[in-house]
Amino acid sequence: MPYLETQLEGFFEAVESLKKYRRADLIDNKGRNLLKELYTDLLPNDYILKKTLKENTTFLVGRKGTGKSTIFLRLEQELKTKKEYLPCYLDVKTIYESSQTALASTQELETLLDSELLEKYLVERAFIQTVLTTILNEISNKFNSNTEKLLKAIGLSKVEEVKEKISELKHNIENNNYLKKIELPILQTINSKKTTINEENDEVASSIKGAELSAETTVEGIKASFKTNSGIEQKNNNKTATENEDIFSNVFLKVFQIKEVILGIKEALSVLKIRHLYILLDDFSEIDDTSINTFVDVVLAPLNNWSDEFIKFKVAAYPNRIYYGKIDPGKIDTIELDFYSLYSEFDRDKMETNAIEFTKRILEKRFNKFTSTQPDIFFDTSTTSMEDYYEILFNASMNVPRILGYILSYCYQSRIIYNNKINKSDIESAAQRYYEDKIYSFFETTTHSLVSLDEKITALQLKNLLNLFLEKAKEIKKRITTGDLKGSLYIQNKPYSSHFHFDPRFEEFIKTLELNYFISKYNDQTDRDKNQISVYSLNYGLCKKHNIIWGKPKGAKYRKYFIERPFNYNKLIKGFLSDSERIICTNKDCKKQFDIDDIKFLEFNNFKCNVCSAPVIIERLADEIKEVIDKIDETKMLPTPEIKILKELQNSGHDLYARDLAQEIDYSGQLIGWRGKKLAEKHELLTRTKESGKPYKYGLTEEGKEFFLGWDK
């Protein structure tokens, strides 16, 4: 029986609402807000929302798409109903993007900083200006909305006095002439110190480089020297960057006079009887590392620590992309949203059951609202139960609402609009498409982006490591199929090999693969030898692409299937790291080499050699990978947002408006327009067409269509 038009439209709206990025509001066709009605907490009884509402600074930690922005929207909605709280939402990524196009410089600054440092300084200054101004705008709006009440309660003179104080704070933050009077003397006093630091670093790098080149004369020796010098120079550059960030932070702290800002805010809000200012920082981890550090040191930590518990921050961040600065981690709440981190904390024995239950709850709520039916009318339940479908969807999405939305959106395009029901094969194909279109592009984007050589090498090394994981999984599958692996646990017609385990100390080296969904943490257990191990799974769509069967056999007998010795990847990972990296003392008279197992000790010792106290570095042994990078046409090296625009247009196969591109690649429409114009006019990779009364539409030129040729998925 064909679906009703309302059911087709409802299915589309339901899955599109799951795909929404960042601050996309959930509204019906009459403009009514559906957020409260549709919000589905990851844990029963709205546990995450209630914990986030607590009067503590809170970090929401999860990979992209895990629902951080939706939690913030719901949190903001609740806070607005409480008179004693004032919520202030800040999209850190968008603010940072806009700061890059709004640089205000002076001739005096240009004499104190070189061009590269000046641009970085100006971006960070504009960023901090915008953050503080946005906070004050939110306060001002709240204040003005209560003016009449306040006039009656406290009188006109007091109201005007506080409004004047807010205006003065805003003016001082926005006014570059005011800032110049403060920052120029400060920069002048530290400029000589910065120059001395840089000269010392240059001298160290130069002496090491000279020693290496003079000591090695063979072809192989020069290659080794190149590798060593590359690593040492990278380390010294990082050291210089850190010292410059410290300088910037000190300048900004004095320029913006944060204590005055705090006092002004508290004075204004005390009139409104506001007990706490909640500042919600979304997309905190989307800006570069050094800018995160400066922002925390200059804005977040001082406002948090110096406000006498008045200001509470709610921060959305990625795993391993968090910097606390002078905030005491012991005094804040951290809520993990990824599958293992979240569910293992509450009931390790029922992790999968609880996660699948969330998948069921979120889908039933969406479909009931948008289609007035349950999800089962859209699935072929003749051979597969609805409960099994929920499990398959969990496996394919790892409980990430955005991925779940994309998979069902692809099923809509391939099945629902043709009045066909979704089956298991459709979900598998959709998961594979999501992997190919959205996940694998990480390698292409990094390689073609204007990022450091070290970042490119790291990305391509991780690609090699992922390929080793795949080859190992295929080998295990073959051994089970042929009967080479004997034992009652191995089923020849179901040779599961998607999961693997290793020593937890290796997790540091694969975190980028996990952050980008190539792999996901599944459990912590002990192996047959009673050693602690971490269990990970390969991406579901990746497994489908390479014909690897995902999961393990059903039943209590197979509870420890993943900890069997064939799934131990310790040797594989250690061998890879030994071949691709070398940990070595930079002192040419010492040159002690360290093992991978020494990483924790080195971290504790600030990467100082225990023999001579010289710096220890991790060299990238990557001549082969560098050759791959060198073959890429330099004209195909573009900033990351521009690469993502090209990639999305390639994947979509048709022209898109800026708002559609922004939805898919998680950038603001304003940035898409600015970058799109550049790609069209300067690089001739895009077309820009405009119909009367409509915005620009972007498509690929012939050259744009050939941009990624030569890359195999």
Q: Has residue 414 been placed in a domain?
A: yes
**Residue 33 DSSP one-character state:** B
| Average pLDDT value for the chain | 83
Residue 207 DSSP symbol:
H
Indicate if the pLDDT at residue 448 is higher than 50.
yes
468-527 tens-digit pLDDT: 999 999 999 999 999 999 888 999 999 999 999 999 989 988 999 999 999 999 999 998
Q: Are residues 545 and 638 in the same domain?
A: no
Instruction: Specify the number of domains making up the chain.
Output: 4
Asked if the structure places residue 236 within a domain, the reply is yes
DSSP state of 555: S
Out of 584, 604, 631, a domain closes at: 631
What whole-number distance in Å separates Cα of residue 644 and Cα of residue 671? 12
Is the same domain home to 409 and 456? Answer: no
Segment 326-331 shows an average pLDDT of 89
374 and 329 fall within a common domain: no
Q: Which of 312, 336, 360 is the last residue of a domain?
A: 336
664 and 566 part of one domain: no
**Are residue 246 and residue 367 in the same domain, yes or no?**
no
Is position 434 within any domain? Answer: no
Express as a percent the part of the chain with pLDDT over 70.
84
Selection from 355, 441, 366, 362 nearest residue 396 by Cα: 355
Of 455 and 676, more confident: 676
Give the model confidence (pLDDT) of 123-134 as tens digits.
Answer: 787 888 888 888
User: CA 673 to CA 662: how far, in whole Å?
Assistant: 10
User: Is residue 490 domain-shared with residue 613, that is, in the same domain?
Assistant: yes
Question: Could you tell me the pTM of the whole model?
Answer: 0.83
- Do 139 and 163 fall into the same domain? yes
Q: What is the pLDDT of residues 163-187, one digit of tens each?
A: 777 788 788 878 877 777 887 887 7
Looking at the predicted structure, is the pLDDT value of residue 405 above 90?
Answer: yes
d(CA 8, CA 269): 49
Dihedral (Cα; 61, 66, 69, 74), 10-degree rounding: -100
Edge-first strand listing for the sheet containing 581-585: 593-594, 581-585, 616-620
614 contacts: CB under 8 Å, gap ≥ 6: 585, 586, 587, 590, 608
Listed in sequence order, the residues at least 6 apart from 445 whose beta carbon sits closer than 8 Å to its beta carbon are: 640, 643, 644, 647
At which of 631, 661, 693 does a domain end?
631
**113 pLDDT more than 90:** no
Containing domain of residue 528, as a range? 440-631
Does a structural domain hold residue 429?
no
pLDDT band at 635; cut points 50, 70, 90? low
pLDDT score at 158: 64
Position 36 in a domain? no
pLDDT band at 384 (very low <50, low <70, confident <90, very high): very high
Residue 675: CATH number of its domain: 1.10.10.10
- Report the distance separating Cα 153 and Cα 84, nearest Å: 16
Q: Are residues 371 and 258 in the same domain?
A: no
Residue 26 lies in a domain: no
Instruction: Say yes or no: 84 and 225 in one domain.
Output: yes
Q: Is the pLDDT of residue 202 over 60?
A: no
pLDDT classification of 245: cutoffs 50, 70, 90: low
Which of 81-90, 160-169, 183-192 tops mean pLDDT?
Answer: 81-90
Q: Give the distance from CA 686 to its chain's centroid.
A: 27
Residue 219 in any domain: the answer is yes
Judge if 642 and 582 occupy the same domain.
no
Is the distance from CB of 301 to CB of 326 less than 8 angstroms?
yes
- Pick the residue with more confidence: 291 or 580? 291
Same-domain check for residues 525 and 509: yes
460 and 608 inside one domain = yes
Evaluate whether residue 30 is within a structural domain: no
